[in-house]
Amino acid sequence: MTDLVVVSLERWDEVWRRNQHLVSGLLREDPALRVLFVEPPDDPLYALRRGARPEFGRRLRAISGRLHAIRPVKWLPRRIDPAADERIERAVVRAAARLGMTDPVLWINDPRAAGLARRTGWRTLYDLTDDWLAADRPTAETRRIREGEEWLLAHARAVVACSAELVRRKRPGRADIALVRNGVDVAAYRAPHPRPHDLPSGSVALYLGTLHRDRLDVDLCVRTAAALGGSATLVLVGPNALDDADTARLHEAGAVVLGARPRDAVIGYLQHAEVLLVPHLVTAFTESLDPLKLYEYQAVGRPVVATPVAGFREAAGDRIRLADADEFAAVTLRTLADAAESPDSGPDPVAAADWSQRVAEMRAVLAGAESR
């Protein structure tokens, strides 16, 4: 394979998710590979309505020698501009052409981008990382997601899912879904890092991940922060997608919301927390996930308290304690009290979960998609 166009649900930035780890690994393994990374389109009118600073896309740019990115713009709502998606698709095709990509493999994370596969006829891989049909979305958006996903399940040359639950849910529409779970850079997460200067003094109970109501139980976080009182501080590290009211509630309860940190910096926060938390909602949406933080938390070996969500539920044991919402704060306090004595027994839980293994698995799937 020489050319790959990746339509992502996230930007290529300092906060690395599944796509960045896999793409960077593929580039390392294949010196002939070139990648065009398509970021989610900017929507300046929507940003203004939310009181956010509008952004207006980014032209084709080089991230590294063989990795380029583009961020299109959706100027108007689709109800006013029905051709908005066509313009975005043409922008991607033009960017690929500028790079000399005439017949790339198309890797789609966002099912709403199925139109690009239809328009171009490029060999397509559909990578399922979340069950967006189970998320709380407006009716029109859910319809677009459903239509795109149905087309991709029927027509993509290969389909990958990050969790066994996603494979199970989508199997009625596609029998041959490959399972490629998430992972962690084990060596990086086990190398000692200094304590971050902005981590509060004293004991810390820390959550790492995007702060979004699709996953995060904000009410539970507020109760937990208040219950910790002076014994510890609840710290949340990751991009903050909460509204101002939710963020204010967290601050008022005593939580520290630090925001996003670069991928290498987050390791220090995890290593220097007394307890790592997963105060997630248990919903049909979160049941579809293979949480990145499961592998990252396990790699640093700190005690974990989690609601009984997918991934953590199956991994519960000496280092991972499960607690429902009513008991979560109390279990967190108990875990803080005996964190130093928490045993570390049994086999290494991330021995077979390094990103290098996941890259090899995805490379095999892509090779199959290219040759079909």
pLDDT tens string 157-215: 999 999 999 999 999 999 999 999 999 999 999 999 999 999 999 999 999 999 999 99
Q: Averaged over 122-144, what is the pLDDT?
A: 96
Task: Give the start-to-end residue ranges of the domains of the chain.
Answer: 3-183+354-371, 186-341
pLDDT of residue 345: 60
Instruction: Choose among 166, 190, 180: nearest CA to 351.
Output: 190
* Residue 344 predicted with pLDDT over 80: no
Kindly state the DSSP code that residue 15 receives in the 8-state scheme. Answer: S
CATH code at 186-341:
3.40.50.2000
* CATH H-level superfamily of 3-183+354-371: Glycogen Phosphorylase B; (3.40.50.2000)
* Residue 343 predicted with pLDDT over 60: no
The tokens for 45 are 């009118």
pLDDT tens string 295-319: 999 999 999 999 999 999 999 888 9
Strands 3-7 and 58-64: unpaired
Is the pTM of the predicted complex or chain greater than 0.85? Answer: yes
* Residue 132 predicted with pLDDT over 90: yes
* Residue 341 predicted with pLDDT over 70: no
The tokens for 35 are 């990648």
E runs forming strands in the chain: 3-7, 34-38, 58-64, 67-71, 105-108, 123-128, 158-161, 178-179, 204-208, 233-237, 256-259, 275-278, 304-306, 320-322
Q: Apex CA 125: angle with CA 63 and CA 41, to 5°?
A: 50
* Residue 333 predicted with pLDDT over 90: yes
pLDDT tens string 36-92: 999 999 999 988 988 889 999 999 999 999 999 999 999 998 889 999 999 999 999
Q: Do domains 3-183+354-371 and 186-341 have the same CATH topology?
A: yes
The sign of the CA dihedral 227, 229, 233, 238 is positive
Q: Averaged over 124-144, what is the pLDDT?
A: 96
Percent of the chain with pLDDT over 70: 98
